[in-house]
Chain A
Amino acid sequence: MRVHAQRVGALSGGLLFPALSMADWTVNMTPGVTGTSNDIFDLHMTIFWICVAIGAVVFGIMFWSIFAHRKSQGAKPANFHENTMVEVLWTLIPLVILVIMAIPATATLIDMYDTTESDIDIKVTGYQWKWQYEYINEDFGYFSNLTTPSDQIRNRQTKGENYLLEVDNPMVIPVGKKVRFLLTANDVIHSWWVPDFGVKKDAIPGFINEAWTRVDKPGTYRGQCTELCGKDHGFMPVVVKAVPEEEYNTWVADQKAAAEKERELTQKDWTMDELMERGEKAYATACAACHQVNGNGVPPAFPALRGSAIATGDIAAHIDVVVNGVSGTAMQAFGGQLNEADLAAIITYERNAWGNKMGDMVTPKEIFDYKNQQ
């Protein structure tokens, strides 16, 4: 039935707009790849057909009246204007239909709320405008940022296949396992949605929400943030890769090793050039969304860093702002988000880029000590 409906939609779309018919005329929800998403799809189709049936009857009678009871056809108005029996009937019949509909909906909802006995727990944290995924039993985590180049968004480059739905580090989960998501947010409310899983849950600061999924089919599944979270709400996609269990285990081992290597970076001796090089990249992913690549910001919400009092002032104050954020503003505390090497590199970069010629640098070790003092 579903394929059929899609074909009908595509066909009528193609007939109406031949020039555009090469494109995607999807008209219905995806059945998805999980038990939950399939249950939801079935509920969706059931209630849809109930609505179609009610609509056909009601509008049918209405169109019959429009057709047959026109004054121009000599129709004389009848005199009836009340009938208790009819009123009772058309109150009770819908009520029965609704009760019938509520039963499977209740069952599905109870199942969706059962987050017990999970195999893997992943903490999902929403930030303006990226996702953080922490594998809380494995002791590693990372950020997931949009990778669609700005040139594609600003129409200077042809848009790629996964335009706006591609990230640097997707979430990776094993197939066949019950994965529990613990959702929260660092700044404003976000919402984490993967249509193919039938999972959508708000990530709210100060709350931890739960959701779960079990994906049986390996693949890459894409979704988006669905709660307005500010300027780049449209630019924080969700990408999840479901892989066979062995591949997942290898990936976890790699991630742990990489996390260990990151920690070693703190102890390394850094030169100015190394910090500037790392800083430019880290700035682009962590800071540029607000303060812009050219350091000009979007005042007044996002102040300029070029020539700013902080970036060209006391280095301790600069470190404080970046590590601890500024409460009451959009400036986040990056101390917990970025490793010491990136923090040091970003601060050094901000003090020496775009004509901010401070000439000084801060090392990862200094950041490490600063954090420990607090």
Chain B
Amino acid sequence: MSAVAGTHAQDHHHGPARGISRWLLTTNHKDIGSMYLIFSFTMFLLGGTMAMVIRAELFQPGLQIVQPEFFNQMTTMHGLIMVFGAVMPAFVGLANWMIPLMIGAPDMALPRMNNWSFWLLPCAFLILVSTLFMEGGAPNFGWTFYAPLSTTYGPPSTTFFIFAIHIMGVSSIMGAINVIATVLNMRAPGMTLMKMPMFVWTWLITAFLLIAVMPVLAGVVTMMLMDINFGTSFFNAAGGGDPVLFQHVFWFFGHPEVYIMILPAFGAISQIIPAFSRKRLFGYASMVYATGAIALLSFLVWAHHMFTVGVPLAGQLFFMYATLLIAVPTGVKVFNWVATMFRGSLTFEAPMLFAIAFVILFSIGGFSGLMLAIAPADFQYHDTYFVVAHFHYVLVPGAIFGIFASAYFWLPKWTGYMYDETLAKTHFWLSFVGMNLAFFPMHFLGLAGMPRRIPDYALQFADFNMVSSIGAFMFGATQLLFLLIVVKCARGGVKAPAKPWEGAEGLEWTVPSPAPYHTFTTPPDVK
């Protein structure tokens, strides 16, 4: 997977257009990747601000800062923005930047659609965020928007929310088609599927998941739209409809969705750990198969989100067994990462720190997931803070730390400069401590009986909530440091060589840093 010739032959190509039209009209995968990443970080800060409002209200028992109506809008918008605005676009951004570079392609297969799929996103989120200023407020029914709370009882802005979801879905599907078309058609000669970097593999599988489930999400919000505006009763029991149908359809989308948010991170971590262990990834083939197995199983477990809705016993057992089964391929991945580190030659730059934290903390999220899979026990855990702790452990040190690790790993390639390692390590440690302080006590709160999505709580939950809020403030404030590090790195510093990491492998390190505007116009030869 090495050896390329003559990247300087590409220098004579024209550079980017000038001014705003460069960004509006660009079809360049690097520009679009950067826009995705910047958009994602903006949304991360916005969704994070909402999390700060939530944690501020929960700092003490009683209602201090916001009213319950607004609190519910904050939890809903925080979830929607983080899932659809921060995590998913960040991975699409990474895919745009890195997949062509990793497989030796000159660009994405469908560059104009690429532009379109990006620019839909700001439109969608403008609509979504504008609901905050509408009469009756923003969506207030949780990011899972269960009917009939979101239909018959939803605020007037729900229709705008549905429209925003539709646009996001279109954007995601186009992004996914682009990834599949690129990976299947544009690999450099000699790069067989089983020679592809893990990041490309996990994204290929993610893209299939996206194409499979985003239409399901579109379907469920369309049914809502009909119920709200055109007098149907899909989810209205009074009209012969079925509120539980909503949950089945939603979670048929929702469960693969959580893997959509984590598989690309698995891929990135599988690039980073070998690089800083100076040792090849252990069990490459089993990593590929495990990813595929996780993706397939993700279609068979949706009702584990619904253990308390009254699923019949046989269904309950099936979904419990299928869910437990997911632990097996997930375990294989973790064991492979540890085996990669074992007897390597380790150094601990920021990407590696985030990657190690990813493995440990994601595993903790996986363990609580295993506990939640035990259906009888889930009757106690369900809809408590234990669940909040669980999915924040898989999403924050999982997806988000995976994104940070990737960002630090490839920043030198993107900007041509090394980032400030001391600041980056500070960012890591503050994030690590803040994140654990914020989310670990939530396990205790949930086990002690605190339901999720409440603006006020009984007195026995007061202390851990205060600890959790302090941790959350710490984590939130720390992210401004990341902004500083990236801006600083983009503006200059120590020049980065083509391959700044001693143990890194792959085609992306064969082009200069920063990567020229056009790369691999002649395909490299992969041995």
Interface presence of B308 (CB below 8 A): yes
| Chain B positions near chain A (C-beta within 8 angstroms) | 61-64, 68-69, 72, 135-136, 140-142, 146, 148-149, 152-153, 155-156, 237-238, 241-244, 277-286, 308-310, 313, 316-317, 320-321, 324-325, 327-328, 331-332, 334-335, 338-347, 356, 359-360, 363-364, 367, 370-371, 374-377, 379-380, 382-384, 443-444, 447-449, 451-464, 466-467, 503
B347 & A69 in contact (Cβ 8 Å cutoff)? no
B344 & A155 in contact (Cβ 8 Å cutoff)? no
A20–B469 alpha-carbon span in the complex (Å): 14
Q: Pick the most buried of B331, B374, B462: most chain A CB atoms within 10 A of its CB.
A: B374
Of the candidates B383, B455, B462, the one whose C-beta lies within 8 Å of that of A191 is B383
Interface presence of A359 (CB below 8 A): no
Interface residue range, chain A: 35 or more
A235–B67 alpha-carbon span in the complex (Å): 13
A142–B254 alpha-carbon span in the complex (Å): 38
A229–B383 alpha-carbon span in the complex (Å): 12
A199–B69 alpha-carbon span in the complex (Å): 28
> Which A residues are in CB contact (< 8 Å) with B152?
187-188, 328-329
Given contacts A44-B371, A163-B458, contact A199 B379 (CB under 8 A): yes
A28–B95 alpha-carbon span in the complex (Å): 41
B55: min CB distance to chain A, Å = 16
A195 & B449 in contact (Cβ 8 Å cutoff)? yes
A–B complex contacts, Cβ < 8 Å, 18 sampled: A23-B463, A24-B460, A28-B448, A36-B376, A40-B380, A48-B371, A58-B335, A70-B347, A81-B280, A82-B284, A90-B332, A98-B325, A102-B320, A189-B146, A204-B309, A207-B310, A224-B451, A234-B454
A87 & B62 in contact (Cβ 8 Å cutoff)? no
Interface presence of A336 (CB below 8 A): no
A66 & B341 in contact (Cβ 8 Å cutoff)? yes
B335: min CB distance to chain A, Å = 5
B418: min CB distance to chain A, Å = 18
Interface presence of A71 (CB below 8 A): yes
For A40-65 the 0/1 string (1 means CB < 8 A from B) is: 10011001100100110011011011
Given contacts A81-B282, A112-B376, contact A65 B371 (CB under 8 A): no
Interface presence of A226 (CB below 8 A): yes
Given contacts A24-B463, A298-B69, contact A65 B456 (CB under 8 A): no
Of the candidates B153, B283, B379, B447, the one whose C-beta lies within 8 Å of that of A200 is B379
Interface presence of A258 (CB below 8 A): no
A37–B379 alpha-carbon span in the complex (Å): 10
Interface presence of A180 (CB below 8 A): no
Interface presence of A179 (CB below 8 A): no
> Which A residues are in CB contact (< 8 Å) with B141?
228, 230
B432: min CB distance to chain A, Å = 14
Of the candidates B309, B320, B451, the one whose C-beta lies within 8 Å of that of A225 is B451
A165 & B458 in contact (Cβ 8 Å cutoff)? yes
Interface presence of A293 (CB below 8 A): no
Of the candidates A48, A198, A204, the one whose C-beta lies within 8 Å of that of B380 is A198
Of the candidates B72, B324, B338, B360, the one whose C-beta lies within 8 Å of that of A231 is B72
A62 & B359 in contact (Cβ 8 Å cutoff)? yes
A207 & B68 in contact (Cβ 8 Å cutoff)? no
A92: min CB distance to chain B, Å = 9
A204 & B310 in contact (Cβ 8 Å cutoff)? yes
B274: nearest chain-A partner, CB-CB: A81
A211: min CB distance to chain B, Å = 9
A226 & B341 in contact (Cβ 8 Å cutoff)? no
> Which A residues are in CB contact (< 8 Å) with B148?
187-189, 205
B62 & A109 in contact (Cβ 8 Å cutoff)? no
Interface residues of A in 101-155 (CB under 8 A from B): 101-102, 105-106, 108-110, 112-113, 128, 152-155
